[in-house]
Structure 1
Amino acid sequence: MRLSSIVCCVPNRTIYHSEDEGSRKSKKLPMSVKSSTAKNIKPASSEISDGAPYSAAGALKLFARFADVEEPDVIGPEGLETLCTEAGVPMEGAQPLILAWQLGTKEMAKIRKEEWVKGMEDLRISSLKTLALALQDLEDLLILGKPPMQRFSTPPSKKATKAVPTENDGPYDRDRYFRYTFMKERAFLELYQFCFGLAKTEGSRNIDMETATAFWSVLVVPKYPITAEILDFINAKGTFKGVNKDLWNMTLEFCETVSPNLDNYEADGAWPTMLDEFVTWKKGKNGDEGENKAGEE
């Protein structure tokens, strides 16, 4: 399943048609399908769309623009999709998850007002353009492995006609970004573990396999290509239904430590069964089984 389908579909709370009560409880609303009860989105003002400097009032205005009509203290799935669309944030990639992580949201595809206010204040962001830039910066650094940008800390020269930028200069506060540059793997692990909690429903110890594979595809595949083969195996097998926290964490460790050709894989390494089965599948796919049969003859 595509990540956008996961992020954009949540239990429907407010949009009802003629279904009976049982249907209402289980129905899901794809974000790509607009309901007749959807709110009218006001045209964006330049204050919140063109990268204007941060202001608390601007951040609140931006939140209000995408908040639910019936629940004005929440940006729900539809508002989130509209926000991402207008900001140019791709729903198919990791950036919606990075946004949730940076804001510390508690529920999938929902941003509460207090989460937004604190997150925007910490990052000093109150415009769509700046928000999109911050999310792209973090994706480049933590997932795509691009070189970090340089921070400027040289004090301005008295003779200079233009002051040298200070370390906090820029369209938003990059202090957090620069901290991540010194602990990239730790920061990525924080994002990765956050996503498991984000996807896990209350009272459950697992996340469903469709959600796990969608998250792996955007979080881990770009960093560790062997993950793509693991996803191929999961799809081919078709019997894995859920992922607990141990399997979630061990899958990342496997992708980080085991080479793509499996030459450093240790069968007695206490890997989860799914990963042991993946190794058997990959070796068979690569012809190792055929070589073994030839040796036996």
Structure 2
Amino acid sequence: MGQCLSPCCDKQAPHSPGGSLPDSGQANPSRTLYIAGIPVSDSKDTGCGEPNPPVSTPGSEWKMFTPYPKLPPIKKQGGSAEAKRLSLISREVSEAKILVMFEMYKDADEDCILADGIEKFCMDLEVKPEEFVVLVLAWKFQAETMCEFTRSEFLQGCKAMKVDSVKGIQSKFPDLLAEVKDRQAFKDLYRWTYRFGLDNASGQRTLPTEMAISLWKLVFSQNEPPVLQHWLEFLEKHTSIRGIPKDTWDMFLNFTEQVGEDLSSYDDTEAWPSLLDDFVEFENDRQNQNVMTD
């Protein structure tokens, strides 16, 4: 609202007794008020030194205020990559958009995304299929089979991440990588990886050693334990080890957390899988041979 300014007028002339006009014999001249910058004529007085605004009548030019000019919209700060990322993940997700995205990569003959579709999906995500973040993404989708996303896995995974576009999925990569730095989350990812590597179509129960080696390299690619390379070399040298049982896979994570690089804290009285006992014996023999050679 505009602010009423002081009236630009002379002081009110006193009334003569009986209501007669002043000695000049002339009526009070019309006074001019400025209200919100609009000049308005006034012909009445309250007697208290304050003018009464005239009553508005049809056709009069009386105005209470002058509208202010429309203010320009306030510019939003930011525009940074982080602000865009947050805007992508904060809005409601659309199931219809997720399904449209699924159809972009779905196999022509199967109601799922297969190897070719996953390769194209990764290209659009600007990552390689063998990258760690793709493994984490498959874990978030709770995929049952490698190189395959079913319709329900893709839909529920996107809903869980609150994304419905390729850009939205990309925006979640930092969060996914941060999430699996948590010990319990990584343990869940690690154990899921074993099931992910199995060939369910053939009813496979034990992970082939070659596949296990590849998955160990991948799952530990962000935080490699000191003993990993020695372990993988042991498996590669002993070609008679054809497969890795699930209990060995699971216990190896505990093994990496409890033993040092030199295996000095290994306790053979604990119930470790026999393959880990063999590995420790092999490493001790090799280290002793190295000492004798020196």
Quick check: TM above 0.5?
Answer: yes
Q: How does 1:213-232 map to 2 (within 5 A)?
A: 213-220=213-220, 222-223=222-223, 224-232=225-233
Match in the other structure for 2:118: 80
TM-score by length of 2: 0.62
Larger Rg: 2
Checking the alignment, whether the CA contact within 8 Å between 1:95 and 1:136 is kept in structure 2 is no
Is contact 2:122–2:128 with CA below 8 Å preserved after alignment? yes
Q: Where in structure 2 are the equivalents of 1:47-126 lying within 5 Å?
A: 54-71=93-110, 73-126=111-164
Q: 1:260 to 1:221 in 2, by over 3 A?
A: farther
State the distance in 2 between where 1:210 and 1:240 align: 10
Structure 1 unaligned spans of 5+: 1-50, 146-183
Counterparts of 2:222 and 2:251, CA distance in 1: 18
Q: Residue deviations 1:151-200, cap 9 Å, x none?
A: xxxxxxxxxxxxxxxxxxxxxxxxxxxxxxxxx22211111111212222
2:188 corresponds in structure 1 to: 190
CA contact (8 A) 1:98 1:191 kept: yes
Deviations 1:71-112 (A, max 9, x none): 2x2111110111012212222222222122111222221111
Q: Which amino acid aligns with 1:237?
A: H
CA distance in 1, matches of 2:261, 2:271: 19
- Asked if 2 retains the 8 angstrom alpha-carbon contact of 1:58 and 1:127, the reply is yes
Superposition RMSD on alpha carbons, in Å?
2.5
The residue that corresponds to 2:211 in the other structure is 211
1:1-297 mapped onto 2 (5 Å cutoff): 54-71=93-110, 73-142=111-180, 145=181, 184-202=182-200, 203-220=203-220, 222-223=222-223, 224-286=225-287, 288-289=288-289, 291=291
TM score, norm. by length of structure 1: 0.62
Contact in 2 for aligned 1:220/1:252 (Cα 8 Å): no
Maintained 8 Å contact 1:226/1:255: yes
Query: Which structure has the higher relative contact order (CA within 8 Å, separation 6+)?
Result: 1
- CA gap of 1:135–1:228, structure 2 versus 1, over 3 A, is farther
Offset, 1:141: 4.1
Q: Which amino acid letter does the alignment assign opposite residue 208 of structure 2?
A: D
Distance 2:128 2:226 in 1: 21
What secondary structure is seen at the aligned counterpart in 1 of 2:101?
Answer: helix
Amino acid of the structure 2 residue aligned with 1:123: M
Contact 1:75 1:112 in 2 (8 A): yes
Unpaired stretches in structure 2, ≥5 consecutive residues: 1-87
Q: Is the 8 A contact 2:179 2:185 kept in 1?
A: no
> Cα gap change, 1:139/1:90 in structure 2, threshold over 3 Å: closer, same or farther?
farther
Query: Residues of 1 paired with 2:170 and 2:274: CA distance?
Result: 40
**Alpha-carbon distance change, 229 to 136 in structure 1, aligned in 2, over 3 angstroms:** farther
2:144–2:196 CA contact under 8 A, matched in 1: yes
Aligned to 1:255, the other structure's residue is in SS state helix
Instruction: Give the deviation of 1:133 after TM superposition.
Output: 3.4
Alignment check: 8 A CA contact 1:206 1:243 kept: yes
Q: CA deviation at 1:272?
A: 2.0
> C-alpha separation between the residues in 2 aligned to 1:272 and 1:120?
38
Aligned length: 203
The amino acid that maps onto 2:234 is F
* Residues 89 and 132, structure 1, Cα contact 8 Å, conserved in 2: no
Q: How far is the alpha carbon of 1:242 from its aligned partner? A: 0.5
Q: Determine the C-alpha separation between the residues in 2 that align with 1:140 and 1:238.
A: 37
Shift of residue 290, structure 1, vs aligned partner: 5.4
1:61 Cα deviation from its structure 2 partner: 1.7
- The answer as to whether partners of 2:145 and 2:198 remain within 8 angstroms in 1 is no
